[in-house]
Amino acid sequence: MTVSCKNLAWTNKTQENWSRRRNKKLRKQIIRARKRERNRVQISEEIGLSYVAVCNIVKRYRAREDKGISALAPARRGRREGESRQASDSYALFSQHLMCWSR
C-alpha cells in the first residue's frame, strides 16, 4: 500500500531498486577488471570504492566462483513484506499520511 506525496520524488522501493542495480553493476565491473589482471589498488582507484570493499568483493567471488556473478548478490535481509504484520491496514494508511505530511 503506497500513499502519493507531492513532496517525495522517489519512494523507498524505487530508491532501493536503483541502489541494488548500481551496486550490482559495480560488482560486475570489479570482477571484469580482476579478470583483466588488474590489481586491487588499481581497481579501487578506477571505480572509486575503497581497497577493502574491492578485496571483500573479490574474496566473495573467489569463494563461490562456480555460481558466477550471482555469488556476489547480497542475501535478503529483514522481515518480508506483509510477514508478521502488527498494524491494521487503516492504521498503516493513517501513519503513511502522517509521515508524508510531517516532512
pLDDT (tens, 9 = 90+) of the chain, 103 residues, equals: 455 555 445 456 666 666 777 888 888 899 999 999 999 999 999 989 899 999 998 988 888 877 777 777 777 777 777 677 677 778 878 888 888 876 6
Q: Tell me how far apart the alpha carbons of residues 27 and 77 are, in angstroms, rounded to a whole number.
A: 19
56 located within any domain: yes
Domain count, the chain: 1
The answer as to whether 97 is a domain residue is no
Residue 3 in domain: no
Q: Read off the C-alpha cell for 25.
A: 553493476
- Residue 6 located in a structural domain: no
In angstroms, the CA 36 to CA 22 distance is 21
Per the structure block, which three cell numbers stand in for 13? 522501493
Domain, as residue range, for 65: 13-73
Q: Is residue 44 part of a domain?
A: yes
The pTM of the full predicted model, rounded to 2 decimals, is 0.55
Domain membership of residue 2 (yes or no) is no
Would you say residue 64 lies in a domain? yes
